[in-house]
Amino acid sequence: MSTWHEQVAISGSVALPPDPRAMEGLGRNHSLETALADLIDNSIDAQASEVLIRFVRRAGRLRALYVVDNGHGMGRNEIDMAMTVGSRRVYGHADLGRFGLGLKAASFSQARAVTVISKTAGTPPVGRRWVLDDTRENFLCDIVSEEFCFDEFDREWGIADGNSGTVVRWDAVNGFPTTDDALRVEKFLTQTVAAIRRHLGLVLHRVLEDGRVAIMIDVEDVGSAYPGPRVPVSAVNPFGYLKSGRPGYPKDLVTTSGDHKIEFRCHIWPGRSRTEEFRVRDAPVNHQGIYFYRNDRLLQAGGEWAGLHTIDPALQLARIAVDIDDDILGLFRMNPEKSRVLIGPDFTALAENARAEDGSDIATYLADAEETYRRSRKRNRTRKAMIPPGKGFAPQLRSVIEDEIPALPRLEGISIKWRRFDNDLFFDVDRTNSTLWLNQAYRPGPAGQRHTVNDVPLLKALLYLLVEDVFEGDYLGAKDKDNIDLWQEILTAAAKSEGAA
Ligand SMILES: Nc1ncnc2c1ncn2[C@@H]1O[C@H](COP(=O)(O)OP(=O)(O)O)[C@@H](O)[C@H]1O
Ligand SMILES: [Mg+2]
C-alpha cells in the first residue's frame, strides 16, 4: 500500500463554468405568486413606494409579464451583480434579500428569459438579459441597448414618477396559456390575478398596511389606446379578526436565547370564519399554527406547530405570530423561495420555556384556544337559524352573517334589491321571489350615477335582521302583517325625511 499524502498535488487549473442549464434548476419550488413576491422583496429593499405587475397581451395572446418599481434602481456595476447567480451584497438588517439568488431563481422558475432595466437618479438606464435556451457558452449575459432601455423605462407604467427605478421583464412565461382564445385567456387572467392578490396581500400584509408600498396589477393590450383597469393588492391580515376570541388575548409569551429575545404573540380567533383573513390555506384545519415573519414579511403561514403540538381540529382558532430577526435566525432556516421556515431542534425547547407576564405558557394558550373553539361551536348551534342572505349583500357582510348565523336549509336566500315603485312606499316583501324590494326613488347617492348591486351594506344589514322572520313559514301570520305595516309606516317616513333633508 502506498503512503497517504496530507496534501493533494496539482499541476495546473482548467476553467469549468457551470453549464447554463444549471440555471433552469433554480427555484423549483416556486409558483408564479411566490416568484413575484421575491421580485417585490427586491423592490421593497430598493425603497420603492409603488410597484406595478403588468401582463402584456398582443393579438389576444399573453406575451410578457413585468414587475416595475420606483425604487433607487441600479447602476452599471450593481446590475451586473444583480444578474450574477449567488452574488451577495452587504445586507442591511431590515433587508429581505439574503442569498443573492432571488431574482434569478424566481425568474427562471417562470420564464425562459429575464430582462432587467434599471436607472439610478441622474444616470441613464442600463439593461441586462439572460436567456435560458441560449446555446452560447460561458454564461455571457446580454447587454440591452441604451435606446431600448430608455424606451422601456419611459413607457406609461402609471406609477409615481421618479427618476429612478427598475423594470423586470419576463418573456416566454411557462404558465401562460398557449392560445389567443379570448375566453380562456380571460379566465386565466381572472384566476391568476386573484391568486397573486391573495398571496401578496398575505405575505406582505404588514408592509401594505403601514403604507410602505402600494402594489397594483394591470393588463396592457398592445395597440389599445387605453390602459386596462388596475386592481390594487390589499392587505390580508391573518390576525385580522374583529374581536378577540377570548379576553386577555392576544397574549405575548417571551423566552430568551442567549442575549436574544423571542416573542410569541398568541392569538385566538373568535370562531371559524369565511373571510379571506381566516382562510389563508387550502384546508380549514391547516390555518392554525405558527406564522413566521422576517422583517415584516410573512415567510410561513401556519400549517404546523413547530414540534409544540400536532395539527388538531380543536386548535382551528389558534395562531401565533413569531418575528425572526437576523439575530435569532440561527435557530431557523428558510428555504431559498422564502416560503417555508425550517425549525432547528432548539426551537421547540425554547418555545416551551416561553412565559407570559401572568406566568402562563404555550400549553395554557393551546388549552384556551381549544376551549374557545368548543364554545364557538356550541354557540353557533344554539343560535336560531335564519334564511341566509341572497343577492345584494357586500361580500364582507355576507361572510360575517354566514359565520355568525346558522343557515336554514333553503334553496334561495333573501335578496335585497332596488326597483322602481309606482307608489312612495319604502319596501315591498316579495315572498314568492324571496326578495325584499326597495323603492329606487329613495336610493342614496347622486342621481344618474351608476350604483353597484351590493350598495348600502349598513341599511341592508339592518333590514335583513328586521324582516328575515317574515320570509319564514308557509304563510304570513297576522303578527307578521301588522309588523310589516308598522315598519312600512316608519321607514317610509324616514326615507322621505332623508330625501327632504
Ligand atoms: N428591483 C430592484 N431594485 C434595485 N436593486 C435590485 C432590484 N432587484 C434586484 N436588485 C439588486 O440585485 C441583487 C440580487 O437580487 P436577488 O437575486 O433577488 O438576491 P438578494 O435579494 O438575495 O440579494 C439585490 O441584492 C439588489 O442589489
Ligand atoms: Mg431578492
pLDDT tens by residue, 353-383: 999 999 999 999 999 999 999 999 888 777 8
Q: Which atom of ligand 1 is nearest to the CA of 116?
A: 8
Q: Tell me, using a 6 A CB cutoff, whether residue 337 lines ligand 1.
A: no
Straight-line distance from the first to the last Cα atom of the chain, in angstroms, rounded to the nearest whole number: 107
Q: Which atom of ligand 1 is nearest to the CA of 105?
A: 17
Q: Which atom of ligand 1 is nearest to the CA of 101?
A: 17
Q: Please state, in angstroms and rounded to a whole number, the distance separating the CA atoms of residues 362 and 225.
A: 59
For 80-114, write each residue's pLDDT tens digit: 999 988 777 777 777 777 777 889 999 999 999 99
**Which of the ligands is closest to the CA of residue 81?**
1
Q: Which domains does the chain have, with CATH numbers?
A: 20-232 (3.30.565), 251-379 (no CATH), 395-500 (no CATH)
Give the model's pLDDT for residue 363: 96
Where is average pLDDT lowest: 20-29, 233-242, 297-306?
A: 20-29
The finding on whether 103 has its CB within 6 A of some atom of ligand 1 is yes
Which of ligand 1's atoms lies nearest the C-alpha of 85? 17
Average pLDDT over residues 404-431: 92
* Closest protein CA for atom 8 of ligand 1: 42
416 Cβ contact partners less than 8 Å away, ≥ 6 residues apart: 390, 391, 392, 393, 435, 436, 438, 460, 463, 464
> What is the average pLDDT score of the chain?
90
What number does the ligand 1 atom closest to the CA of 100 have?
Answer: 19
Ligand 1 in reach of 104 Cβ (< 6 A) = yes
Collect all residues with Cβ–Cβ distance below 8 Å to 262 and sequence separation of at least 6. 254, 255, 256, 322, 324, 328, 331, 350, 351, 354
For residue 92, the ligand closest to its alpha carbon is 1
pLDDT in tens, 279-338: 998 888 899 999 999 999 999 999 999 889 999 999 999 999 999 876 666 777 777 777
Does ligand 1 lie within 6 Å of residue 27's CB atom? no
Residue nearest to atom 27 of ligand 1 (CA): 82
Q: How far is the CA of 371 from the centre of ligand 2 (A)?
A: 42
Residue nearest to atom 19 of ligand 1 (CA): 100
Extract the C-alpha cell encoding 112.
Answer: 425562459
- Of the listed ligands, the closest to the CA of 107 is 1
Q: Is 47 helix (H, G, I), strand (E, B) or coil?
A: coil
> Where are any strands of DSSP class E within 405-489?
415-419, 427-430, 435-439
List pLDDT tens digits, range 442-474: 998 766 667 788 899 999 999 999 999 999 988
Ligand 1 pocket residue status of 74, Cβ below 6 Å:
yes
Residues in the chain: 501
* Residue found under cell 307608489: 423
The ligand 1 atom at the shortest distance from the C-alpha of residue 166 is: 1
Q: Whose CA is nearest to atom 21 of ligand 1?
A: 97
Q: Which amino acid is at 152?
A: E
Among 38, 43, 45, say which to mutate for ligand 1: greatest number of ligand atoms within 8 Å of CB.
Answer: 45
- Residue 227: which pLDDT band, with cuts at 50, 70 and 90? confident
Q: Whose CA is nearest to atom 1 of ligand 1?
A: 43
208 lines ligand 1 (CB under 6 A): no
User: In percent, how much of the chain has pLDDT > 70?
Assistant: 96
In the predicted model, is pLDDT for residue 65 greater than 60?
yes
